[in-house]
Amino acid sequence: MALNQYLKRVFPGTAEEYAKRAEQAMLSGERLFIVTANPEILMHAQRDPAVERLLLDPRTEIVPDGISVVKAMKMLSLPVKERVTGVDLAERLLNAAGRQGKTVYLLGAKEEVVSALAKKLKLQYPAITVRCRNGYSKDKDADFQEIKALAPDLTLVALGVPAQDLLIHRHLDEFPKGVFMGVGGSFDVLSGSKKRAPALFVKTNTEWLYRIAKEPQRLGRFWNNNVKFLREVKKAAQQKK
């Protein structure tokens, strides 16, 4: 499927608009599955029909997390305002859940990371209910049974792309309500275990550069996904002309 098919489903408004929409969904008991799109998941969709299905599912809402996704949409003349970053959206939803005394499930990351985040939230928001489980158990579908029993208002899954999104999508039908989002490495940042890129990198949309400098093993993944992605988008844009 052409990248265009996924990109035209991506939210075109501002990060603030989307955060309000997601908060509202959580507070009103709507069911919402958010995919924070970067080139990696869009490239996966081209090789894995299950990823393609989840991106094209009308129940899925996609936001442009990576700057390359925003660039690609502009190149294809699709409406888009700015990045809607997963880590900021996750933080915003956690804070709203905390203030409103909602129920949150955190699945993924290392045990010390996810339990530190759960503890931090509980300290900050005594009225919140938080359950968590690390992302290294063998049977993550079984973990979802625990989530189902809790029926949380917000479920964040930090297992990396696309495992986290596939897992949520497989179980979405079992939930009448709740906001679900795959958040990649966000627990590492929100728990304070890993530093987010300094503000200058965030402002100039070069967080990816900071992450590669800190963790050079990311370079291969970056090349495979981002560079190939932009090459394909360029091709598609030329064909459109």
Q: Is residue 184 within the footprint of ligand UDP (CB under 6 A)?
A: yes
Considering the complex, state which of residue 47 and residue 241 has its C-beta at the smaller distance from ligand UDP.
47
Task: Give the residues across from 182 on adjacent strands.
Answer: 157
Residues in 55-74 that interact with ligand UDP by CB under 6 A = none
Which of these ranges, 15-23, 103-111, 122-130, 195-203, lies near ligand UDP under the rule CB under 6 A? Answer: 103-111
- Locate tokens 């679900």: which residue? 180
Q: Is residue 185 within the footprint of ligand UDP (CB under 6 A)?
A: yes
Q: Is residue 187 within the footprint of ligand UDP (CB under 6 A)?
A: yes
> How many binding residues for ligand UDP (CB under 6 A)?
13
Mask of contacts with ligand UDP, 104-143, x by CB under 6 A? ----xxx------------------------xx-------
| Residues forming the site for ligand UDP (CB under 6 A) | 108-110, 135-136, 158-161, 184-185, 187-188
